[in-house]
Structure formats: structure tokens, C-alpha cells
Chains A and B, each alone.
Chain A
Amino acid sequence: MIVNPISNGIVLDHITAGNAMKIYNYLKLDELDCQVAIIKNCPSSKMGKKDILKINEIIDLNFDILGYLDPGITVNFIEDGKIINRLHLELPAQVKDIIKCKNPRCITSIEQELPHIFRLTDKDNSVYRCIYCDSKAK
């Protein structure tokens, strides 16, 4: 199967196999007018198999969402067919409005305007806790 290289845009590589559609939806890539390729289950020497997303345009990406959803992702920025920048993502220290706090005792349960903010409290086990009530993200 051949998907043409892109000359200007972003390639999200090393996506855990099966995660591409989730990331596509979270990043709202369906709202873009440009070409987007979702490549699933590519052979990978490191990962066995992986997913790849190719976006044929440089867009603003929310690295916090990406890092939270799949911290192993590599983001390649392509210009004139060449990689001009490469980022290796990791779990963000804090995420805003990605996870919702479900604790009925939390202030966010009665004040709808408040942003739902979670902080990484245990990197080894990927544990995020609500900054208001310390509830663990589920």
C-alpha cells in the first residue's frame, strides 16, 4: 500500500497501533480541509506495528492532548519535502479540559465554568490527579 510523501505538513509517527482514530478525533482533524491520511498497523521494527497520521498542512497541534493520549508519538514537521523539526512527546505535566473530574465532591461538580485541570503526580504509572480535589483520573 502506497501513501505519497507530503511536501508541507505534519507526520505523527510511532502512534501505538489502534490509537490513530482516537487521536484523529481528539485533534478534530475531520474539520480540516486539507488531505489527511490515516495509516493503520504499519510494520515497525521498534513497535511491531504502529499507526501513522499524515496531515498535508502545518497546523497548530495541542501537544498536551497528544502527549497525554500517546506519549510515545514522534511529531515530524515537513517543509519542502524535508523534516525541519522533530519532537518526541512525553506525558505533559498538566492537562486542561482533556479529562473531566467525576468526583461529586469536587468544586468542578457545581461550578460549570471552571476548567478541568489534571496534574501528573506519578510519571512511572501515568497517574494524573485533579488539581482541585486530588481525585485520580480514570
Chain B
Amino acid sequence: MRSLIDINDLTKEEIDELINKAEDIIANPEKYSQKCKGKKLATLFFEPSTRTRLSFEAAMYELGGNVLGFSESASSSSAKGESVADTAVTVSCYADIIAMRHPKEGAPLVASMKASIPVINAGDGGHNHPTQTLTDLLTIKREKGSLDNFCIGFCGDLKFGRTVHSLINALTRYKNIKIYLISPSELVIPEYIKDEVLDRYNIEYHETTDLESVMPELDILYMTRVQRERFFNEADYIRLKDSYVLTPNKLTSAKKDLAIMHPLPRVNEISTAIDDDPRACYFKQVLNGKYIRMALILKLLEVE
């Protein structure tokens, strides 16, 4: 029985297999519409989420399965003090697979150590969010045709942005990737990502505070939100939240086939005037998220 807690739990071959499966689902949805008939997904969301929870639920419904669960900790027994481990053992009696989001880092790992069914980490605080990474990889593959040979700029909150850390980690497996890290000095990428990921795998990267100066070089621009919930101090959040706002003006020097990605939700960091630009991929990313989760559920449930 396999769980997915960290993107590094998957080999490059397994990631490629999931991407291929997702593309096959996109091409032939009817072939998969009853694959999980009689199976149940438990969505245990101890923290609010729109996209991730609905995406998991839509994925399971489109595979012919059913869904049960809760969408906030107040409506679960954790409000009475139940441990994550006990919740996981209990839910194992009712469902075939768990998708868990929790504000504390490592909670889904604890669940996977005790559950008798596969556990998918649907986000644990500012730590890991592997299905977002798979979503991002599928989007890059579909937009660029390959996961090798491109220049990607990560912009915004690179300190707390778990999607950025996780995607950088995954990209180390692919060839000829160049990375620009664009952030205010207070929100730069953590040292350990530089030491233990970028330097260790010899990835070419450059840090800058100036988005417009690197714009012409980018094949992909990955925007992020400055997340209020990651700050202990409201004043710091207010000061930094408007650091980078992408507007049509800033795109004048960008490549014609640039792919603009964002894990969403956005606040104001991408102007809505860009939504109709063909280079905007963030809503396609949302849709890709459903397909890659379908592929993942099939894999972890060992459904052919």
C-alpha cells in the first residue's frame, strides 16, 4: 500500500507515468468513468480549501466513486481533542483512500503511519503539497510539450511558498532547467532549498528582486500569493503583500508563448486584465489538477 506525502516519494518514472495517465484521461474520459465504482474517498480537511478539496471530490466522482469527509476541523472529532493518528485509523474503517489537509506540518505523514489505506497529503501547513506539484508538472508538460529545456521564473513569496519549494524539488529530475527566483528580500527562498536542492543538483539559478528585467528570458512565469496565514505578524503581511502585481504593462517584453501559472487563490498579484491573455494558464492549471488527482487515485488504489 502506497501513500503520497512528499513529491520525493515518487520516482521520475512514476511522475511521468502519472502525467501520461492524466493525459489519457483527458483524451478518453469515458474509459475511466467507472474505474472506482464502489470505492470511497475520505476528504479530511482540517483547514479551509476550495480548489484542492473540490478537485479531489470531482476526481473521485468522475472515476465513478463516492466521497465522504469534512471541510473544517470544527466539524470533526479533532475539535474534541482526537489525535490525527486515531482519526486516520477510524477513517480507514469507512473509506478506501484518504486525502488530508492539515495546518500542522507532518500531520498527513502521521496519518499514513497509522492508516490501513493510502493517504494523500493535500497540503500540510507551509510544508508539502505534492498534488499541486503534480498539477504544475502536468500543466508545464501540456503547455510546453516537455518537462526538459525551459527557463522558469518563480515570483512572490518564495520563503513560505510550499508550491514553489516542491516544484523546484521535482524539477531537479529534468534536464536543462534554468530558474529565476524573484522576490522581495524578506521573502527569499530558504537557504536549505539552495544548499540541498539547487546546488546539490547543479541547477542554474539566479536571485533577483526585479521581475521586469528577467521577463524576456522566461518560458514560464510562476506567480505566488503572499499568504496571510503564514505570517505571525499582521504588519509584516500588510507591508509585503503588494510586492509584485502582474499587469498587462509588465508583459510587454515577455515571450509570445510565455505560460503564466499560479497555484491560486490569487488576491491581487495577477491583474484580472490578464485573464483573457492566451498566455494565462492558471485556470487550465485548476482543470489539470482534477485530472492528475484522478490518475493518482487510480495509482494508489491500484486500479488498472
Contact residues in A for B105 (Cβ distance below 8 Å): 103, 105-107, 132-134
Binary contact readout A97-112 vs B (1 if CB under 8 angstroms, 0 otherwise): 0000001011111110
Q: A17 near B: Cβ within 8 Å?
A: no
Bound CA–CA A107/B127 (angstroms): 11
A33 in the interface (beta carbon within 8 A): no
Among listed B9-17, B106-114, B132-140, B244-252, interface-contacting one: B106-114
Contact of B106 among A113, A122, A133, A136 (CB under 8 A): A133
Residues of chain A in range 116-136 having any CB-CB distance to chain B below 8 Å:
121-122, 130-134, 136
Contact B125 A132 (CB under 8 A): no
Query: What A residues does B104 contact at CB under 8 A?
Result: 105-107, 109-110
Contacts of A134 in B (CB 8 A): 105, 127
Q: Given the complex, which residues of B lie within 8 Å of A113, measured CB to CB?
A: 83
Q: How far is the CB of B123 from chain A (nearest CB, A)?
A: 13
Q: Which of B77-118 contact A (CB under 8 A)?
A: 83-85, 102-107, 109-110
Contacts of A131 in B (CB 8 A): 106, 109
Q: Pick the residue among B125, B127, B196 that contacts A121 (CB under 8 A).
A: B196
Taking a contact as CB atoms under 8 Å apart, the answer to whether B196 and A106 are in contact is no
* Residue A1 at the chain B interface, CB threshold 8 Å: no
Number of B residues whose C-beta is below 8 Å from A?
17
- A134-B125 Cα distance, complex, nearest whole Å: 12
For B102, list chain A residues within 8 Å (CB).
107
Give bound CA distance, A113 to B114, whole Å.
Answer: 14
Interface set, chain A 54-75, CB cutoff 8 A to B: none
Partner of B110, one of A105, A109, A121, A132: A132
B64 beta carbon closer than 8 Å to chain A: no
Q: Say whether B196 contacts A133, CB under 8 Å.
A: no
Asked if residues A136 and B192 are in contact (CB atoms below 8 Å), the reply is: yes
Q: Does B126 contact A (CB under 8 A)?
A: yes
- Which residues on the A side are within 8 Å of B124 (C-beta)? 107
CB-CB under 8 A from A107, the residues of chain B are 84, 102, 104-107, 109-110, 124
Q: From residue A136, how far is it (CB to closest CB) to chain B in Å?
A: 7
- Measured CB to CB, the nearest residue on chain B to A103 is B105
Identity of the chain A residue whose Cβ is nearest the Cβ of B110 in the assembled complex: A107
Which of B83, B125, B192 is in CB contact (< 8 Å) with A105? B125
Evaluate whether A132 and B106 lie within 8 angstroms (CB atoms) in the complex, with A105-B125, A107-B84, A111-B84 already known: yes
CB <8 Å contact, A133 and B127:
yes
Enumerate chain A residues within 8 angstroms of B127, measured Cβ to Cβ: 105, 133-134
| Cα separation A130 to B124 with both chains bound (whole Å) | 14
**Complex CA distance for A114 and B102, rounded to whole angstroms:** 16
Question: Closest residue to A109 on the B side, CB-wise?
Answer: B104
Assembly CA distance A121 to B104 (angstroms): 22
In the complex, which residues of chain A have a beta carbon less than 8 angstroms from the beta carbon of B107?
A: 107, 132
Give the distance in Å from the alpha carbon of A107 to the alpha carbon of B46 in the complex: 13
Q: How far is the CA of A114 from the CA of B192 in the complex (A)?
A: 25
A110-B104, A111-B83, A111-B84 given; A105·B126 CB < 8 A: yes
Instruction: Find the residue from B104, B106, B107, B192 having the highest chain A CB count within 10 A.
Output: B106
Least Cβ distance of A113 to chain B in Å?
7
> How distant is B186 from chain A, measured CB to nearest CB, in Å?
18
Write out the residue numbers on chain A whose beta carbons fall within 8 Å of the beta carbon of B106: 106-108, 130-133
In the complex, A110 Cα to B107 Cα: how many Å? 10
Q: How far is the CA of A131 from the CA of B107 in the complex (A)?
A: 11
List of 8 A-B pairs having minimum Cβ-Cβ separation, nearest first? A132-B106, A133-B105, A107-B106, A107-B104, A107-B107, A133-B106, A105-B125, A105-B105
| Inter-chain pairs besides A106-B104, A132-B110, 5 sampled, C-beta below 8 Å | A105-B104, A107-B107, A107-B110, A109-B104, A114-B110
Of the A-B pairs whose beta carbons lie under 8 Å apart in the complex, a sample of 11, sorted by A's number, is A105-B103, A105-B105, A105-B125, A106-B106, A107-B107, A113-B83, A131-B109, A132-B106, A133-B105, A133-B106, A134-B127
